[in-house]
C-alpha cells in the first residue's frame, strides 16, 4: 500500500495514523506502478537474512524443520521477484507443501506462504482464501494481514482491504509493511499528502537498507504521478544510496531522466535494468522510450521480449491477463487485448486497474461506447494517475463526449505532462484537436 511532515512523525503521529485510516471515505485510486505487494522485500520477514543456499543447508541437517521449509518457500518467491524468474514458483510451492506435510495443523506460516505465492501468481481469490485459513490458526500475524490486504485490494474490495490494513496497523503501527500499505490505501482514495507522510515514516522506521529503498521507491512514485520530477529523482536517488543494487529504483531514475529530456542517460539506465531484470514493466518502459525517440527496431525487440516473458509467466501459473491486455492494446493486436482483458475483468470486475485495462482494450478494438462506462468506473476512487486519466479522456473523446474528454486529458497533463515519452504527446495532441 499518514500524512504529516517528518518532523511530527512521533509515536503520537503513529497513533493518529492508525486511528484515522478507517475514517477515510471512498474517493481515490492508485497508479499501476505504485502498489506495494506481498512478495516485496519487506513482506518476507521469515526469509530475511538467509539465502536460499543457507536455508537449504539448514534443511539438509534438519529436514523435519517445518518453519524452515516455509522460510525456504518465501525465499524462492522473493528470488523470483528479484530475478523475474517465475520457474522458481514451483520450488516455492514444493517447499510450502513439505512444511504442511510435516505440520498439517496450526501451520499458519506455511499457509501465509502459500497465500504469498498465490498473490505473486496474481491468483488473488486463492490468496484471500488461504489467509482465511491462516488467520484461523493465528489471527495476530502482521504478515498474513498484509497479504490479505493486498488480495482484497487487487480484487477491488476496497472497504474490506482498508479494514485489513487497519488491523495490520493495530498489530504493527510502526512496521514498514503496515505503513506502506496504509500509504497505498490512502493514495487509492486521493489522499496523497497523508500517503506521502506514511511512506516518510516507513523510511524513518526502516532498519534494513532494502526497507529504506522500498519506501523511497514509492515516495518517488507518488512524486512522479504528481509531476514533481525533482522530488521523484531525489527519492529514487535516496533509495539507490540505501540499496545501490535496486533495479526498480534505477528504472525510476530512468523515467525521470526521460521526462527531463535526457533520453541517452535514460536508455542507458533502462538497458542496465532489463539486462538484469527483464520484467515486462521495465521492458515496456524501455521499448516506449525507444519508440518515442525513433528507434523503432530496437523498440520492437523489447516488445518481443515482453511477449516471451509473459508467456513464461503464464506457463508457470501466473495470471498476466490484464498486464498483457494493456500491452497488446498499445503495441499488438486489439482483439487479443480484448480477449485477455475480458478474462481478467470476469475474475476481478471491481478492481480499478482491471477496469482500466478492459476499457482500454475495448477502445483499441474500436468499441469505445462499450468501454465508456467501464472507464468511468475505473476513475470512481479518484486515482491520481495520469495514465488512467489519459485512457479515460481518449475513450470519452471516441465515445462522443468531447467536454468530458477535455477535462480528463487536461487532468492527465496537469498531473504530469511528461508521464510517458510515448503517450503524453498523444494526450496533448488529442487535447489540442478537441480544442483544449
> The domain spanning residue 347 has which CATH number?
1.25.40.10
Please report whether residue 115 resides in a domain.
no
Cell of 246: 535496486
The total of structural domains in the chain comes to 1
Cell of 339: 480477449
Question: Cell 514451483, residue?
Answer: 90
Mean pLDDT of 327-356: 97
| pLDDT of 50 over the 80 cut | no
> Which pLDDT belongs to residue 49?
57
Please report whether residue 338 resides in a domain.
yes
> Which pLDDT belongs to residue 6?
24
Please report whether residue 341 resides in a domain.
yes
| Rounded CA separation 76/434 (Å) | 51
How many CB atoms are closer than 10 A to CB 434?
16
Question: Cell 479515460, residue?
Answer: 392
Domain extent, residue 399, equals 320-436
Predicted confidence (pLDDT) per residue in 352-396, tens digit: 999 999 999 999 999 999 999 999 999 999 989 999 999 999 999
Confidence band, pLDDT 50/70/90 cuts, at residue 29 = very low
| Rounded CA separation 382/185 (Å) | 12
Mean pLDDT of 215-232: 97
Please report whether residue 376 resides in a domain.
yes
Question: Is the distance from CB of 242 to CB of 212 less than 8 angstroms?
Answer: yes
Does an H or E element contain 367, and which?
A: none
Predicted confidence (pLDDT) per residue in 111-123, tens digit: 999 999 999 999 9
Predicted confidence (pLDDT) per residue in 188-218, tens digit: 999 999 999 999 999 999 999 999 999 999 9
| pLDDT of 130 over the 80 cut | yes
* Bigger pLDDT: 32 vs 296: 296
> Which pLDDT belongs to residue 259?
97
> Which pLDDT belongs to residue 319?
87
Confidence band, pLDDT 50/70/90 cuts, at residue 39 = very low
Question: Cell 503524453, residue?
Answer: 424
pTM: 0.88
| Rounded CA separation 335/246 (Å) | 36
Question: Is the distance from CB of 144 to CB of 62 less than 8 angstroms?
Answer: no
**Three-state secondary structure call for residue 436:** coil
Question: Cell 521499448, residue?
Answer: 287
> Which pLDDT belongs to residue 48?
54
Please report whether residue 313 resides in a domain.
no
**Three-state secondary structure call for residue 217:** helix
Please report whether residue 79 resides in a domain.
no
Cell of 417: 505532462
Predicted confidence (pLDDT) per residue in 286-323, tens digit: 999 999 999 999 999 999 999 999 989 989 888 889 99
Please report whether residue 327 resides in a domain.
yes
| Rounded CA separation 366/338 (Å) | 11
Predicted confidence (pLDDT) per residue in 234-293, tens digit: 999 999 999 999 999 999 999 999 999 999 999 999 999 999 999 999 999 999 999 999
Q: What is the DSSP string of 327-363?
A: HHHHHS-HHHHHHHHHHHHHH-TT-HHHHHHHHHHHH
Question: Is the distance from CB of 242 to CB of 213 less than 8 angstroms?
Answer: yes
Please report whether residue 94 resides in a domain.
no
Q: What is the DSSP string of 72-112?
A: HHHHHHHHHHHHT-TTHHHHHHHHHHHHHHH--SS-HHHHH
What is the percentage of the chain residues whose pLDDT exceeds 90?
Answer: 85
Cell of 421: 515519452
Question: Is the distance from CB of 325 to CB of 340 less than 8 angstroms?
Answer: yes
| Rounded CA separation 226/220 (Å) | 10
Amino acid at each position: 500500500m499518514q500524512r504529516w511532515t517528518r518532523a511530527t512523525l512521533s509515536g503520537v503521529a503513529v497513533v493518529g495514523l492508525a486511528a484515522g485510516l478507517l475514517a477515510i471515505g471512498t474517493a481515490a485510486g492508485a497508479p499501476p506502478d505504485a502498489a506495494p505487494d506481498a512478495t516485496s522485500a519487506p513482506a518476507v520477514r521469515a526469509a530475511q537474512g538467509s539465502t536460499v543456499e543457507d536455508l537449504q543447508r539448514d534443511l539438509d541437517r534438519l529436514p523435519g524443520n517445518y518453519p524452515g521449509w516455509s522460510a525456504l518457500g518465501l525465499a524462492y518467491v522473493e528470488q523470483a521477484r528479484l530475478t523475474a524468474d517465475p520457474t522458481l514458483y514451483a520450488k516455492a510451492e514444493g517447499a510450502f507443501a513439505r512444511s504442511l506435510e510435516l505440520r498439517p495443523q496450526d501451520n499458519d506460516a506455511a499457509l501465509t506462504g502459500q497465500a504469498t505465492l498465490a498473490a505473486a501468481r496474481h491468483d488473488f481469490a486463492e490468496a484471500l482464501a488461504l489467509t482465511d485459513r491462516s488467520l484461523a490458526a493465528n489471527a495476530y500475524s502482521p504478515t498474513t494481514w498484509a497479504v490479505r490486504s493486498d488480495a482484497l485490494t487487487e480484487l477491488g474490495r476496497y472497504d474490506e482491504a482498508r479494514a485489513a490494513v487497519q488491523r495490520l496497523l493495530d498489530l504493527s503501527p510502526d512496521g514498514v509493511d503496515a505503513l506502506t500499505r496504509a500509504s497505498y490505501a490512502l493514495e487509492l482514495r486521493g489522499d496523497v499528502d497523508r500517503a506521502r507522510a506514511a511512506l516518510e515514516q516507513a523510511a524513518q522506521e526502516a532498519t534494513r537498507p532494502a526497507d529504506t529503498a522500498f519506501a523511497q521507491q514509492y515516495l518517488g512514485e507518488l512524486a512522479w504521478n504528481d509531476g514533481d520530477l525533482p522530488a521523484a529523482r531525489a527519492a529514487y536517488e535516496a533509495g539507490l544510496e540505501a540499496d545501490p543494487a535496486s533495479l526498480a529504483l534505477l528504472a525510476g531514475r530512468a523515467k525521470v531522466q526521460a521526462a527531463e529530456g535526457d533520453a541517452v542517460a535514460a536508455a542507458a539506465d533502462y538497458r542496465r535494468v532489463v539486462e538484469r531484470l527483464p520484467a515486462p514493466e521495465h521492458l515496456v518502459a524501455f521499448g516506449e522510450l525507444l519508440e518515442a525517440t525513433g528507434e523503432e527496431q530496437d523498440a520492437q525487440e523489447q516488445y518481443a521480449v515482453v511477449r516471451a516473458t509473459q508467456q513464461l509467466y503464464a506457463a508457470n501459473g501466473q495470471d498476466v491477463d490484464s498486464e498483457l491486455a494493456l500491452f497488446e492494446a498499445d503495441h499488438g493486436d486489439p482483439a487479443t487485448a480484448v480477449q485477455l482483458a475480458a478474462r481478467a475483468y470476469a475474475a476481478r470486475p471491481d478492481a480499478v486497474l482491471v477496469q482500466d485495462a478492459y476499457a482500454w482494450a475495448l477502445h483499441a478494438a474500436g468499441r469505445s461506447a462499450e468501454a465508456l462506462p467501464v472507464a468511468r468506473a475505473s476513475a470512481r476512487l479518484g486515482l491520481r494517475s495520469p495514465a488512467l486519466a489519459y485512457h479515460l479522456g481518449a475513450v470519452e473523446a471516441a465515445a462522443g463526449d468531447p467536454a468530458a474528454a477535455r477535462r480528463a486529458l487536461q487532468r492527465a497533463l496537469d498531473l504530469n505532462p511528461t508521464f510517458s515519452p510515448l503517450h503524453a504527446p498523444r494526450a496533448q495532441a488529442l487535447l489540442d484537436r478537441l480544442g483544449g
